[in-house]
Amino acid sequence: MGLLDVLTQVGAVVVALHLVALVVVVGPKQLWTLRCGLRTKLRTIGPSLGVLVTVLLANGVVRNVGVELSWIIGLNITGGIHAVEGRFVAHLQSLATPPLTAYFGFVYVFGYVFLLTFPLVAYLVLADTRPLHTLVVAYVVNYGLGLVCYVVFVSYGPRNFMPELVSSLLYNSWPQSQLLTSQVNVNTNVFPSLHTSLSATVGLLAYRYRERFPRWLPLAAVLSISIAVSTMYLGIHWLTDVVAGVALAVLSVAVAMRVTNDADRARSRTEDSIGGRERWRRND
C-alpha cells in the first residue's frame, strides 16, 4: 500500500464521517440553506482563508529546511522534558490493549482530520460568519505559532528518545500510516503538540458556539480529549507537549475572537458610513 492508497482510505472514511455528521449535527433543513449567501460568506472570510493557505504552504517549506535551522538556532529541550515528567508516557502505554490501540490509532488519524474539517463545513451553513471566521483565524494562529516553536525548540518524542520503554504503537499496528505522517511532520517537531492544540481549539469553539449546533459539542469534546490522549498513548508526544498544546489552543481562540470582533466592528462602521452617505444623497 502506497501513499496514494493511504490518502484514499483516509479521504473515504472522513467523507463518510462528514455525511453522517451533517445529517445528525447540522440537520437536513439547515443544509438546504448552505447556498444562501455563500459567496458573501466566502468573501468575508476570504482574507483569513488566504492567510491560512499561506501558513500551510510555509509549513511545508519549514518542514524541509526547518530541521537544519532548528539545530543552528534552536534549543534541544528533550532532556529537560524527560527530566520533568520521567516515564509518564511509558506508564500510560503499560495500559495498552489491542482495542485501545485500534481506537486511539483511529482517532489520531481519521478522527483528527474529521474534527478539523467538519466545523469548516458546518459553520459555513450559518448565516452568521463569526464562528467560521473565528475558527479560521484560530487555525492560523495555531499553525503560525506552532511553526515558530518548531524552529526554536528541538524536541524528540518519547518513542524516539526512549524506544526501549515506549513503542511506536501506531506504526506497529498500521505501518502504512507512516507514509502519511512523514509527509506532514518530522520527529523533532513535537513541542507543542499541534494535534492537541488544533483539536482543543475546535473543542473550545464548539463550546463557545454550542447554541448553534448543540449536538456538535459532545462529539467535539470526546474527539478532542481522545486525540490529546492518543498522542501520548501512541508514544508520539510527551505530556508536556499536550499541556503546551492546550495553552496554545486557549491563546489562539482568544486572539481569534479579538480579531473577528475587531473585524465585525470595522465592517459595521463601514456599513454605517456607506448607509449614512446614501441617506444624505437621497435627502439632498
Please list, in sequence order, all residues whose beta carbon lies within 8 angstroms of the beta carbon of residue 156, skipping any fewer than 6 positions away.
Answer: 78, 187, 188, 190
pLDDT at 222: 98
Mean pLDDT of 127-140: 93
φ/ψ of residue 278, rounded to 5 = -65, -40
Is residue 144, in this structure, part of any structural domain at all? yes
Q: Is the pLDDT of residue 85 over 80?
A: yes
Count of structural domains within the chain: 1
Is residue 83, in this structure, part of any structural domain at all? yes
Cis peptide before 158 (omega within 30 of 0): no
Is residue 280, in this structure, part of any structural domain at all? no
Is residue 282, in this structure, part of any structural domain at all? no
Is residue 283, in this structure, part of any structural domain at all? no
Is residue 133, in this structure, part of any structural domain at all? yes
- How confident is the model over 14-54, as pLDDT tens digits? 999 999 999 999 988 777 777 667 777 888 888 888 999 99
Give the three cell numbers for residue 36: 444562501
Task: Give the burial string for 81-95 (b: 16+ CB within 10 Å, else e).
Answer: bbeeeeeebeebbee
Is residue 279, in this structure, part of any structural domain at all? no
pLDDT at 123: 92
Is residue 191 a contact partner of residue 81, using CB atoms and an 8 Å limit? yes
- How confident is the model over 221-254, as pLDDT tens digits? 999 999 999 999 999 999 999 999 999 999 999 9
Give residue for cell 498522542.
231
| pTM: predicted TM-score of the whole model, two decimal places | 0.88
Within a 13 Å sphere around the CA of 278, how many CA atoms are in the beta-carbon half? 6
Measured from the Cβ of residue 165, the count of other Cβ atoms closer than 10 Å reads 15
Q: What domain range includes position 223?
A: 3-274
Is residue 184, in this structure, part of any structural domain at all? yes
Percent of the chain with pLDDT over 70: 87
- Average pLDDT taken over every residue of the chain: 87
Task: Give the burial string for 203-233 (b: 16+ CB within 10 Å, else e).
Answer: bbbbebbeebbeebbebbeebbebbbbbbbb
Q: Is the pLDDT of residue 166 over 70?
A: yes
